[in-house]
Structure 1
């Protein structure tokens, strides 16, 4: 209890005390300046006027203090005047019968003089210090703490993160575990002449667990761990960032061996002289100081720098050379095994129903990062709470997955019967072609319930994570993508084709272009690369730069792209024409049930019907389908479902 009483009151207490001091100073200043003034209205008289009133007998009493004269007239009014040193004043007062008293002039005390002369400056200085402290909030160094480091020393013992909390990125974890082992037992490495890396750069997409890895190192190393963001170095004043770097390393030297973690290092480590960031001299000076501290004349032994970024391409080459960041640890998106482990970590704090299978959810979330999976588990828990359930079941995970990937259901959206019918046949066309294409991924779900910007969706799920794609699968995806457009033409006629296939056409065109210009899958052009890997961003869209080719070659490229797309179109038309009855059957079932799982579609087309109450809107769960949906990305990846109608 005594220790708690001695704790500082915190920022609110300091602010309150500062305002109290300022208010007290203002009160004292006002009281000092107002002290000579007496109560009531005082008439200021000229000395000649005062003599006249004395001679006329209009003055009752007078108080003389040096050369200051104050008194009262016979009318009761108070007055004051200043005597020029008249030696006959006393005789005039006696002759007129004025009651008077005289006192020597009181000199102000030294304290009062100091307050009157210095207090305004002290008041201004106090306000300036208070404002600067507020501006430097977080530095913890007061008004003169511009150049002090903002690195925080982690010493928490409770709630710390360890390597047991890190899953799905085993290779990155192993490399960083070696750094922790060196800090615990450096002799095991130094005996063979090995030196600990001075720096490790964590590179990966947002949400893959770079900061989590750093926190795990802090929890495992049992050495001082300083953490700071790259943006904390840069200020509007030139030289402040460099001063903060120096101060950070000075603090680290006192605590060596230790670890410094710099998050988002690209904020300060960009290419020098590249014009990025406005060519800020402050940023470049900060980077120069960081380079010197990491590997300069003064060796900082026992200090390990760990930094994280998702933009390694913008970092200065001097920062990445051996001796500074000796290791670049890639933190990739997890595969299916990694996703399962990550899900199990996040599911520890969630009460799960017996039907929840982490493997099934992991299989249905290819491309998800660790942050995406954490969000998925959280959304499922929130949905179960809304339904007042005690346990989070597989149905909630399926619904949460659909919401994360495709958006919330738009049940308030009013669609005409004709629009619903066209959407049903559009999605049925995708599904029928996918079922009859041997190289296509299995269908997970077909729905005509609007979600996000889509009026409907056919979701296909790869049976495993795919890292390369074969020619037959690409042609199958082209046929599936054309299935919706072809179904509209067959059922409603040429003139009634809608704009719903716009994203399908874009997907097919982009895939065909990549096959021709990047992967050498054109018989006429052969295995030649005709497009650069570099992409430029224009108006928010990535645009692949095509190499300079002759006009004749460009025409061949266009012809080959069109030929590949049209072959997919003709393949889809052939399959839907041959299986016209299945198209009608599936479209009518979608109009009735709105959502069908992959197993239900197979049962329906096999003549077994759908084992579900008529008119029910229950969603198929992963427990019944055995599969899950694939994620919605900005660009439909190969193996993904064709883009939905209405996008």
Structure 2
């Protein structure tokens, strides 16, 4: 694999904190919720009891009406109380009874004949309070549940009945971890541009005396993980002012007008704490170009953007409030948001160069106990294209690797292993390769290395390995001496030859019919590089310095910022012929070098089979005939010479020693 590995993407800039589940403050909301639901269940049970237990106030056993008449005839009834719906009374034995009457006009004469005391109780309806309770209890229960649900929702949106329109901006104070420019490394140019904002917040009169006005807004533009959020916090830490943070997605809700209301409330809070900084992360969530939607353009997102534009540059002055926003998609922002008077200063936060990566590594290495052999410059050389978050992850992976090995210090070996894991994936220890597959992999990687050694324009080899990682069965890593911002023709031809070295080595050693599919990644890289040389960079004499590459402009809702390239069939055929000729030239160059140095190819492949991994210095010593100083791992395996017949082997396609695209 080439040195030009450049890794896009990365993690964010924010540092989060979390608490354990057993903390006291987290238990209170659960207790409140439990008590509320217990109260609801008790109220329901009481309601059912009151409704169903109205007839249970009368004591005694319930008997049939016929049994009641038999007891009257037997003379065992002492007294009765007759109402419209119930007959109750006392037996001569003192027991209570009750029964439900029917229309019987002979009952009263029969009772008088037996001398039973008769009393009548008027029918009493429920009281007014009971009627109100019966009728209002379901409504009160529904209102209680609705109030509980709304209160839970308003915990995240603000307090009060109209909490949905409250701003979700959180104010960070110096007690929550002060960040200064000393904690920000590798982006010196961006830091210098924002130093002016810090000076204004410290001494506003310094600029006012000369009639100068500080920019109202600064837009931080950069790839994910480059330190945009960290840089904004450093501004607040250096100036010593309140720092409000909010995400662009926090403005948008399902309710119309909520986003605009939150923008107004956010500026009202900021005015009370002025001078202060308001940081809006991922502003492209609400700041996208207006009029490009599929609806009528009067949606909630555009209303929020309109309110933000008014607050930033309206009739009402917002003195002392500086808006700092971050995005990695500046191309989709509305032009009105970027005009002077709003975000009139764009600060590019790039990926760090080699010196910046060294500084970033030194910042993160302060928290890790290092062994004496750790060299930050070597690590920085091997991580081109890494962002600050990527480097922080690299240091963390190295510390975890050392901890798994029960080491007290993190050595260079752990950093190398962590770098390989981040770039190529974890080592595939469970993968079982046959001896034939190992030999083919060793010669494939040795072919890349030998061509790289004899190409003057190639970057120096850092290491070669046949240990499977990720999708690759091996790799050859080259490290540039410094970061390159432009590439010369001779280096491109060298990279083409190096990329073809693995396929050529297989053909020389194992024969034409034994070439495997392992060079698919190499061929893909070489073809892409040759296409760029012909269609972008004008490095073909027949095609000339004319751009024929397809447009790479950002596409927004199906509309591209560039027109497609139009060319004749003859021109397209010429371009294809030139691309094929350049790739074939690299293959011929690799074949010439490996044929002339086939003994070195056998020597290096045998060493890779024995030791599996060799550093660049060890490869140089091996080619020069010196001892490489490794511990002998046993007898050397038999290395096949040129023309030796070896059983046919197949390898899964993958990036065997594939350099990454130049300029990626």
Provide the secondary structure at the position in 1 that maps to 2:584. helix
User: Deviations along 1:165-222, whole A, 9 cap, x unmatched?
Assistant: 1111112222223222212211111111111222111111011111112222333333
- Which residue number corresponds to residue 419 of structure 2? 401
- Which residue number corresponds to residue 582 of structure 1? 600
Provide the secondary structure at the position in 1 that maps to 2:246. strand
Whole-Å separation in 2 of the counterparts to 1:546 and 1:584: 49
Q: Say if 1:289 and 1:164 are closer, same or farther in 2 by CA, change over 3 A.
A: same
The answer to whether the 8 A contact 1:168-1:339 is kept is yes
Q: Say if 1:392 and 1:406 are closer, same or farther in 2 by CA, change over 3 A.
A: same
- Which residue number corresponds to residue 637 of structure 1? 661
Tell me whether 1:71 sits opposite 2:88 in the alignment.
Answer: yes
Tell me whether 1:116 sits opposite 2:140 in the alignment.
Answer: no
Provide the secondary structure at the position in 2 that maps to 1:146. helix
The answer to whether the 8 A contact 1:208-1:333 is kept is yes
1:315 equivalent among 319, 329, 333: 333
Whole-Å separation in 2 of the counterparts to 1:146 and 1:373: 40
1:570 Cα shift? Answer: 0.8
Whole-Å separation in 2 of the counterparts to 1:41 and 1:490: 110
- Which residue number corresponds to residue 204 of structure 2? 186
Whole-Å separation in 2 of the counterparts to 1:632 and 1:587: 15
1:282-361 correspondence to structure 2 within 5 Å: 282-361=300-379
Q: Say if 1:100 and 1:206 are closer, same or farther in 2 by CA, change over 3 A.
A: farther
1:455 Cα shift? Answer: 0.6
1:551-562 correspondence to structure 2 within 5 Å: 551-562=569-580
Is 346-355 or 153-162 further displaced after alignment? 153-162
Uncovered stretches (5+) of structure 1, i.e. residues with no partner: 1-5, 618-630, 641-647
- Which residue number corresponds to residue 583 of structure 2? 565
1:160 Cα shift? Answer: 2.6
Q: Say if 1:276 and 1:375 are closer, same or farther in 2 by CA, change over 3 A.
A: farther
User: Deviations along 1:2-50, whole A, 9 cap, x unmatched?
Assistant: xxxx98974334323432432343344334334423178975989x999
Tell me whether 1:247 sits opposite 2:265 in the alignment.
Answer: yes
1:265 Cα shift? Answer: 1.3
Whole-Å separation in 2 of the counterparts to 1:315 and 1:455: 44
- Which residue number corresponds to residue 165 of structure 1? 183
Q: Say if 1:639 and 1:237 are closer, same or farther in 2 by CA, change over 3 A.
A: closer
Whole-Å separation in 1 of the counterparts to 2:269 and 2:432: 64
Q: Say if 1:245 and 1:365 are closer, same or farther in 2 by CA, change over 3 A.
A: same
Uncovered stretches (5+) of structure 2, i.e. residues with no partner: 1-23, 636-654
- Which residue number corresponds to residue 446 of structure 1? 464
Provide the secondary structure at the position in 2 that maps to 1:305. strand
Give TM-score, length-normalised by structure 1: 0.86
- The size of the alignment, in residue pairs, is 614
Q: Say if 1:64 and 1:198 are closer, same or farther in 2 by CA, change over 3 A.
A: farther
Q: Which has the higher contact order (CA 8 A, sep 6+)?
A: 2
Whole-Å separation in 2 of the counterparts to 1:156 and 1:22: 44
User: Deviations along 1:446-475, whole A, 9 cap, x unmatched?
Assistant: 111100000110000000011111111001
Q: Say if 1:321 and 1:338 are closer, same or farther in 2 by CA, change over 3 A.
A: same
The answer to whether the 8 A contact 2:233-2:243 is kept is no
- Which residue number corresponds to residue 621 of structure 1? none
1:341 Cα shift? Answer: 1.3
Q: Say if 1:586 and 1:565 are closer, same or farther in 2 by CA, change over 3 A.
A: same
* RMSD between superposed Cα atoms in Å: 3.5
2:248 equivalent among 230, 237, 252: 230
The answer to whether the 8 A contact 1:129-1:143 is kept is no
User: Deviations along 1:306-364, whole A, 9 cap, x unmatched?
Assistant: 11111111222222222221111111111111111111211222122222222222222
Whole-Å separation in 2 of the counterparts to 1:525 and 1:266: 41
Provide the secondary structure at the position in 2 that maps to 1:534. coil
Whole-Å separation in 1 of the counterparts to 2:552 and 2:272: 45
1:442 Cα shift? Answer: 0.1
Is 103-112 or 246-255 further displaced after alignment? 103-112
The answer to whether the 8 A contact 2:463-2:477 is kept is yes
1:411-560 correspondence to structure 2 within 5 Å: 411-534=429-552, 547-560=565-578
